[in-house]
Structure 1
């Protein structure tokens, strides 16, 4: 199939997929509006879309002398949370790559670190948040550490499993071509395992994002999770729903960017 023919097929397919997504969102909003109008539950439990829209406008501007929410605009809350997620995920991914390579290539490291990674992966974030606060205080450090510890295990597990699945012929071929042993993890194992590692990175970033509300329960304002937590204390359900929507939409955007990066870095995936 030529490039022109492929574009003719892909164009309508993309438009159809976009139309389905828009229709799904419209149906969801319509169902939300209908439930709110029917007052099956009080507005405190299910605020109408109009209330959430009003809070979007209020938290995004200076209204009646009040700037945003708790003195910060919505975009500023989101920006602070994204910075925390970016730092925690970056440290977690880097640590997960190193630990995963060790577990996948060195049997002794597998025996040492494997149980610890499994133990950490099964713990809910709130289980060790209090300990991190005791160790690092209530500023940025415990939040970054919490997101790091949330992001590290998925990358470590994905990297270890992917590296163990690399055919030994790849290593033998590299050695026969003169590659030193210390270069094999970076020149052979990582490139061959890259598709699975990138899938682990996507999972890790998603886990870090779902952990942001827990990370920002302590001194989390500014921060989108801290905003949600603070609004929950005052039964401001419209702001809580707004925060959830913002977290979900930004999470979808980040995952879409990661998928695009995955396709660019591993274009052969699914074609061999």
Structure 2
């Protein structure tokens, strides 16, 4: 593909990616305008925007909107970074050491199929309804996802590449640094994107447990009083945060794993 063809393909991609949500919004507005759905169930986008502006100006439940956003971001950031770091480390170790893999196999495989929401009652009993239970619930979900992806990435390393590095006199650290880690990075970057989506999902669920700060609290409180436009505004904010972080991780992945797809 020539440079001009690649540029046209990129512009076409951006155009479609921009028009797609606009088309959905237009269809949504048409449905609301024609009265095909109750405003309580599906309010028009203009009403949701008005509610968002109201929260931005006056806050919600006596708390500024950006305080709710900051509380949610603080929880998910701490849990995500810690869970991703430990998950990648354990996954790399499991991929390189059969003994460590055997030690962690049963605990991780027992926990992994359990929906994180199913652990909420236990976390409440163990850690209460404060910040600790919220952060640990997200942390555990991210850790399990990243451990599996990092381990799979290590096992994707080419046996020929490993033998070639060893035959050239590379020590264990050099084999890991120049062969194993580059092979694992694509899986790790994909895992980071998946884990972020999961972290935001668990964040909202964990904030329903209690407290008076966070987007999850805002959504639950608004739904209790049938303030549907505020519920949609809160959901839209979480979606925008997810979109921004996913695009950021995708951009970072293209820079870090720049060799992917060029072999």
CA distance in 2, matches of 1:236, 1:184: 58
Which residue number in structure 1 is paired with residue 11 of structure 2?
Answer: 15
Q: Contact 2:150 / 2:188 at 8 angstroms: preserved in 1?
A: yes
- Count of paired positions: 263
Q: Contact 2:156 / 2:183 at 8 angstroms: preserved in 1?
A: no
Gaps of 5+ in 1: 63-67
CA distance in 1, matches of 2:11, 2:66: 29
Which residue number in structure 1 is paired with residue 31 of structure 2?
Answer: 35
Which residue number in structure 1 is paired with residue 147 of structure 2?
Answer: 156
Instruction: Provide the secondary structure at the position in 2 that maps to 1:222.
Output: coil
Which residue number in structure 1 is paired with residue 250 of structure 2?
Answer: 259
CA deviation vs aligned residue, 1:213-246 (integer Å, no higher than 9, x gap): 1111123432112211221222211111111111
More deviation in 235-244 or 161-170?
161-170
Which one of 85, 94, 97 corresponds to residue 94 of structure 1?
Answer: 85
Gaps of 5+ in 2: none
Q: Deviation of residue 41 (structure 1)?
A: 3.0
Which one of 111, 128, 151 corresponds to residue 102 of structure 2?
Answer: 111
- Runs of at least 4 residues of structure 1 off by over 3 A? 8-15, 168-188
CA deviation vs aligned residue, 1:238-270 (integer Å, no higher than 9, x gap): 111111111112211110110111111111000
Q: Deviation of residue 37 (structure 1)?
A: 2.3
Instruction: Provide the secondary structure at the position in 2 that maps to 1:61.
Output: helix
TM-score normalized with structure 2 length: 0.90
CA distance in 2, matches of 1:226, 1:118: 32
CA distance in 2, matches of 1:183, 1:142: 40
- CA 1:51/1:178 → structure 2, altered by over 3 Å: closer, same or farther? same
CA distance in 2, matches of 1:38, 1:119: 50
Q: Does 1:193 find its partner at 2:184?
A: yes
- CA 1:188/1:17 → structure 2, altered by over 3 Å: closer, same or farther? closer
Instruction: Provide the secondary structure at the position in 1 that maps to 2:36.
Output: coil
Q: Deviation of residue 133 (structure 1)?
A: 2.1
Which one of 198, 220, 238 corresponds to residue 247 of structure 1?
Answer: 238
Which one of 204, 211, 219 corresponds to residue 202 of structure 2?
Answer: 211
TM-score normalized with structure 1 length: 0.87
CA distance in 2, matches of 1:229, 1:119: 31
Which residue number in structure 1 is paired with residue 133 of structure 2?
Answer: 142
CA distance in 2, matches of 1:122, 1:220: 28
